[in-house]
Structure 1
Amino acid sequence: MKPVLEVENLKVSFRSEGKYTPAVKGVSFTVNAGETVALVGESGSGKSVTALSTVALVGGNAKLEGSIRYEGREMIGASERDLMAVRGNDISFIFQEPMTSLNPLHTLEKQIGESLALHQGVRGEEAKKRIIELLDKVGIQNPADRLQDYPHQLSGGQRQRVMIAMALANGPDLLIADEPTTALDVTIQAQILELLADLKRDMGMSLLFISHDLGVVRRIADRVCVMQNGEIVEQGKTEDIFANPQHPYTRKLLEAEPTGMAEPVPENAPELVRTEHLKIWFPIQRGLLRKTIGHVKAVNDASLSVRAGETLGIVGESGSGKTTLALAIMRLIASEGPIIYENEDISQWQARQLRALRRDMQIVFQDPFGSLSPRMTVEQIIGEGLTVHGVDPGRNRREMVAEIMEETGLDPAMMERYPHEFSGGQRQRIAIARAMILRPKVVVLDEPTSALDMTVQVQIVNLLRDLQKRHGLAYLFISHDLRVVRALSHKVMVMKRGDVVEAGNASEVFANPQTAYTRQLMAAALGKSALEPETA
């Protein structure tokens, strides 16, 4: 097969404070015509830097050495004019987070049209026709009606489809996809992978696919290159790598999946939280007098119960009502129906009564980058709740922060540092420590592992298990990652468009799902069959 991209002994270093720090150390691989090659590894392994180096998108402080040839043409040292001719035309990119890649102030027509005008000189009605064709090709329903939509009006999956349409606008020979499914639900993830495979086949493209999720890589890649600390430690055919990994690091990645089941809850464990037919509808208001003309039915009828030491996994696609339900239980948004906490209905409590409740109910968010203030030290972040709630005034605050940092696997010597000085997994531990320092009884975990590498996911799951066992915590665990849910949850609730479609003991739901939707989720996440007839 003819190589489209040849990378030979690539070295990339970044200059900082007068010295160069290596990020990529002598990487070599090829991508042949019509082939999908995956670069896999943990964050910081050099995957994205390698990909961006192909067309010199690594910044002015980077030094590139070695050789990168696109269809025989050398890219390292090429003129800006030659690189501009290749970027977006011959080699296109899809990035992980479409909301940061799409301009929030421009319509879909304008954003895709800019690419067509810049690279092909296509404008006006011809461009509009081409944009509609592209949106239709990537599976956007009624594309002609969506041209004037803005990115915020689209779901995560739709935004990623728009990014793919922009990348395909100029018919590239090589598409580089950098973690394109990490932030998506499992069903949407499966759709995007199928779309990429179809487009690659139909357009005769090559694909360089970057991911830390080996389950995704196994589905899409012909060959795999495993990266660690800026080096490729193993490469070969996908089936060979998965069947017989040679390098210890590859074996470590393949084994990095949350395993085991949640430990049984003691029979005498008290019930901490219960809801009865909880309803959360948001009014749609129009006109000068803000007349209510309808409702967004976020949650229709949710009944649940969680005991001390128990985890309820709440699963479903984006927009199913998972997070809305948890926020209502914490009394952060309005709802209808009883919310029983420690045998008291808190649904009508006022602000003064709720203040004490805030200490007992804490939340850990999905994004450890966005949920921590970049202007505060770790000590200030973790200890902030102590100031707000006045907990244990007789104890030294710094000692309490050091104690919870040790308990969550952080070095107390790092408490003077800022969030940007930590890895993603460490940042999530800081967020967990911030919640746990108040010694809560109920913790809402909103997608706490979805942004993390697989090996770090395992560490966080083990940490959460340990904290739950030690302190008898009740968890509301919100996730679309069914592997993590299966490892951590005692009970599972499946939600779809505001409705609870299935609920029960985790072992029973995973072993024998009763609804087609639950089987669909499991098929997308775990590879189980979703074709059995629906049980009445």
Structure 2
Amino acid sequence: MTEPTTAPLLSVRDLSVAFAREGSTALAVDHVSFDIQRGETLALVGESGSGKSVTALSILKLLQYPAASHPSGQVLFEGKDLLAMSEREIRSVRGNDITMVFQEPMSSLNPLHTVEHQIVEILELHGRLRGAAARKRVIELLTEVGIPEPETRLGSYPHQLSGGQRQRVMIAMALANEPRLLIADEPTTALDVTVQAQILKLLKDLQTRLGMTMLFITHDLGIVQKIADRVCVMKSGRIVEHGSVRDVFGAPQHPYTRALIAAQPKGEPAPSQPDAPLIMETKDLKVWFPIKRGVLRRTVGHVKAVDGVSLAIHRGETLGVVGESGSGKTTLGLALLRLISSRGPIVFMGQPIDALGFKAMRPRRNAMQVVFQDPFGSLSPRMSVADIVGEGLRVHMPKLSEAEREAKVIAALRDVGLDPETRHRYPHEFSGGQRQRVSIARAIVLEPSFVVLDEPTSALDMIVQAQIVDLLRDLQKQRGLTYLFISHDLRVVSALASRILVMRGGKVVEEGDSRSIFRNPREAYTKALFAAAFNLDTASEKATT
């Protein structure tokens, strides 16, 4: 790590950010100041809605103007005020001197362009590389960020990648021009623990090699301790504590900082009840995607996303599904809900559903719901929160009056910890964690029997994460809900799931009671996952075990 100099690379001075709302303004960032020295990593931490991402977006003037404004402040990059730059001037800085990895890759990647096209575009835009040299650089970047067989992924579109793979593509794009400052907004949110450790190691290695400076935004305090030199703690738009990582974590002064450090999912999962009725069952389930090549697009092979998986979930229990990105976890959940095609019997509440078409499935949709991994990509930007949460009620409970429907929406928002008064706002007005809570409210408002939870806490800060786990457990107890819980966060899985499936390459490599697997994992791959989750220092070494 380079030694700090008297002239920081980036200096944020007295920054305030206000948003115009219905004739008034709301202050999202309130007189924030910090410096980032050359070659160091500064972490910005705090709960959802604390102003972390808004601060980061302000640095590159990426907020929606004029709805957003800066009542005060400067952002000095090498002495030049970025906020005072014209749009043309700031464009020369974006993607070249300063780059950013966004929290939600699906909303940042262009769904109409391939992976190769999107990375090459960045290289060409800044006049770095073209043609064969650019293609070679793309392959190098994809290799660096841990995407296997990168040559085969050049022609892939974002929807053909897992959530973790999409995030890795975003990181590759951000690093393409070897920036001097990398702003990483939750860059490991969608990654499994083994790849998370590899990405953190990659960022540290690049920082050393390139002398790169980082502003690292995260809700995972374990990551902060591993990667950051200094930390600023934000609450309600203000920095309430700052200092070296050792000082802040070793002796936190502010009550909020102490609450953040102490927050983690607690409690015991609801016990499995083998005598309870079966809610979901499948045997030898397969989801194979064809690989087509040549002018005639002939099938030359298959991607075996789910390859012979069997499971049975009883009423009131939670089955956790863990594994690295691309292991087939999400594909399994979508297949069980009949949202993608599959082969093999699927029995839901005693009735076979694997042969049912769209119309036949529709009356059953209210009983089976899903919370997707990427809340921004699954929430319509043109609908208010009230309309989003209430949309399913209009479809499945059309006889409800307007007042009854609104009452259910309000109750669902309260259940997930959102202020019902915000229900007339739109998704872009909420933080990533708040948007995820909207997604959970949309799922539970229909009072389903079976819910697929696909990384439901991945976008949440530690305090809210613990609250959501408690909420999911309480809802399960009160309503007899059954969950398929997909997650790469093993700490959350241990608090919520009574049984676990460990997946790798589309297959189940280990399964059983969660307590037994956590205490004594049998398979080498499971041991590597646990080592990565609870000791990131060893993860990159054991990830390939």
From 514, 519, 535, the equivalent of 1:506 is 514
1:459 is aligned with what amino acid?
Q
CA deviation string 1:38-75 (max 9, x = no partner): 11122332223333444544465333634443344454
The offset of 1:5, in angstroms, is: 2.6
From 317, 321, 324, the equivalent of 1:317 is 324
The offset of 1:247, in angstroms, is: 0.8
From 373, 376, 380, the equivalent of 1:366 is 373
Comparing 90-99 with 412-421, greater Cα deviation is found at 412-421
The 8 Å contact of residues 405 and 430 in structure 1, kept in 2 or not, is answered as: no
Counterpart residue number, 2:449 = 441
Question: Secondary structure of 1:4's match?
Answer: coil
The 8 Å contact of residues 379 and 398 in structure 1, kept in 2 or not, is answered as: no
2:334 is aligned with what amino acid?
L
Counterpart residue number, 1:50 = 55
From 32, 36, 39, the equivalent of 1:34 is 39
Counterpart residue number, 1:522 = 530
Counterpart residue number, 1:477 = 485
* Percent of paired sites with the same residue: 57
Change over 3 Å in CA distance of 1:144–1:365 after alignment to 2: closer
Counterpart residue number, 2:102 = 95
Aligned counterparts of 2:293 and 2:74: Cα–Cα separation in 1: 60
Change over 3 Å in CA distance of 1:10–1:147 after alignment to 2: same
1:513 is aligned with what amino acid?
P
The 8 Å contact of residues 34 and 205 in structure 1, kept in 2 or not, is answered as: yes
Comparing 420-429 with 315-324, greater Cα deviation is found at 420-429
Question: Secondary structure of 2:8's match?
Answer: strand
Aligned counterparts of 2:128 and 2:345: Cα–Cα separation in 1: 61
Question: Secondary structure of 1:443's match?
Answer: strand
Change over 3 Å in CA distance of 1:439–1:91 after alignment to 2: closer
TM-score, normalised to structure 1, is 0.84
- How many residue pairs end up in the alignment? 532
1:12 is aligned with what amino acid?
S
Counterpart residue number, 1:245 = 252
From 262, 270, 279, the equivalent of 1:263 is 270
The offset of 1:151, in angstroms, is: 5.4
Counterpart residue number, 1:220 = 227
The offset of 1:407, in angstroms, is: 5.8
Question: Secondary structure of 1:65's match?
Answer: coil
Correspondences of 1:65-464 after superposition (within 5 Å): 65-75=72-82, 77=84, 83=90, 86-104=93-111, 111-119=118-126, 156-157=163-164, 159-265=166-272, 268-283=275-290, 294-348=301-355, 354-376=361-383, 380-389=387-396, 398-399=403-404, 402-403=407-408, 405-406=410-411, 409=414, 414=421, 417-420=424-427, 424=432, 427-464=435-472
Comparing 134-143 with 340-349, greater Cα deviation is found at 134-143
The 8 Å contact of residues 297 and 498 in structure 1, kept in 2 or not, is answered as: yes
Aligned counterparts of 1:404 and 1:65: Cα–Cα separation in 2: 38
The offset of 1:24, in angstroms, is: 2.6
The offset of 1:30, in angstroms, is: 1.9
RMSD: 3.9
CA deviation string 1:393-437 (max 9, x = no partner): 6x7573365257426625896497254366655554444444434
1:90 is aligned with what amino acid?
D
The offset of 1:235, in angstroms, is: 0.7
From 493, 502, 505, the equivalent of 1:497 is 505
2:44 is aligned with what amino acid?
L
Aligned counterparts of 1:502 and 1:427: Cα–Cα separation in 2: 33
Aligned counterparts of 1:112 and 1:343: Cα–Cα separation in 2: 48
The offset of 1:219, in angstroms, is: 1.4
2:201 is aligned with what amino acid?
E
Aligned counterparts of 1:125 and 1:336: Cα–Cα separation in 2: 41
Aligned counterparts of 2:65 and 2:49: Cα–Cα separation in 1: 20
Change over 3 Å in CA distance of 1:337–1:137 after alignment to 2: closer
The offset of 1:487, in angstroms, is: 0.9
Q: Does 1:12 align with 2:16?
A: yes
Comparing 6-15 with 35-44, greater Cα deviation is found at 6-15
CA deviation string 1:135-156 (max 9, x = no partner): 6655666777876666566655
The offset of 1:502, in angstroms, is: 0.7
Aligned counterparts of 1:146 and 1:487: Cα–Cα separation in 2: 36
Runs (5+) with no aligned partner, structure 2:
none
Aligned counterparts of 2:88 and 2:108: Cα–Cα separation in 1: 23
Aligned counterparts of 2:154 and 2:281: Cα–Cα separation in 1: 45
2:489 is aligned with what amino acid?
D
Aligned counterparts of 2:282 and 2:345: Cα–Cα separation in 1: 6
Change over 3 Å in CA distance of 1:111–1:344 after alignment to 2: closer
The 8 Å contact of residues 455 and 487 in structure 2, kept in 1 or not, is answered as: yes
Aligned counterparts of 1:22 and 1:73: Cα–Cα separation in 2: 25
Change over 3 Å in CA distance of 1:396–1:449 after alignment to 2: same
Aligned counterparts of 1:353 and 1:146: Cα–Cα separation in 2: 36
Counterpart residue number, 1:486 = 494
Question: Secondary structure of 1:319's match?
Answer: coil
The offset of 1:262, in angstroms, is: 0.8
The 8 Å contact of residues 185 and 317 in structure 1, kept in 2 or not, is answered as: yes
CA deviation string 1:258-311 (max 9, x = no partner): 112113345743333332333333455789999765443232222222222111
The offset of 1:225, in angstroms, is: 0.8
The offset of 1:449, in angstroms, is: 1.9
Change over 3 Å in CA distance of 1:110–1:319 after alignment to 2: closer
Aligned counterparts of 2:25 and 2:134: Cα–Cα separation in 1: 45
Aligned counterparts of 1:144 and 1:322: Cα–Cα separation in 2: 24
Change over 3 Å in CA distance of 1:279–1:235 after alignment to 2: same
The 8 Å contact of residues 13 and 20 in structure 1, kept in 2 or not, is answered as: no
Aligned counterparts of 2:273 and 2:146: Cα–Cα separation in 1: 49
The 8 Å contact of residues 10 and 64 in structure 1, kept in 2 or not, is answered as: no
Aligned counterparts of 2:323 and 2:394: Cα–Cα separation in 1: 36
The 8 Å contact of residues 54 and 63 in structure 2, kept in 1 or not, is answered as: yes
Comparing 126-135 with 30-39, greater Cα deviation is found at 126-135
Comparing 405-414 with 308-317, greater Cα deviation is found at 405-414
Question: Secondary structure of 1:184's match?
Answer: coil
The 8 Å contact of residues 37 and 222 in structure 1, kept in 2 or not, is answered as: yes
